[in-house]
Amino acid sequence: MRCTNCGVCCTETEMLLSKKDIKRLAQKGYTPSRFVRYDKQGYATLKNHGGYCIFYDPKNHRCNVYVDRPDGCRVYPVIVDEEKGIVLDTICNSRQTISEAEKSIKGKRVIRLLEIIDSEAIKRSS
């Protein structure tokens, strides 16, 4: 993928986080309460600040944790549409740079990641 760093995907994000994502960012010195929001169903998501992901720098058009970014960010713009299955997010201006092979590989990773996140949310909410 050839990301243009436009920040569209980082605007009002609802990116789901796994325990692994939270741990990785915490090990880099970020306090989870600063970047994680839990919903009523037990899902962890990235917080927003000023309309963007807490880690996105809109002035410089860059992610401040790019190397350690959440797994959902790593596979983006490949997402799961409940009706269509694995698709490319239409808001991504660089989606046309994703090959079918890359979409397939990332699609499998998205499915596995969502299974983990669902399981973690169930454990949190019970």
- Report whether pLDDT(3) > 90: no
- pLDDT-based confidence at residue 2 (cuts at 50, 70, 90): confident
- CA dist., res. 88 & res. 111, Å (int): 14
What percent of the chain has a predicted confidence (pLDDT) above 70? 100
Residue pair 98/104 in contact (Cβ under 8 Å)? The answer is no
Predicted pLDDT of residue 11: 96
Say if CB 86 and CB 6 are below 8 A apart.
no
* Banded model confidence at residue 5, pLDDT cuts 50, 70, 90: confident
* 9 phi/psi in degrees, rounded to 5: -70, -15
Please name the helix (run of DSSP H) or strand (run of DSSP E) that holds residue 38, with its range, or none: strand 36-38
Tokens of 33: 């309460």
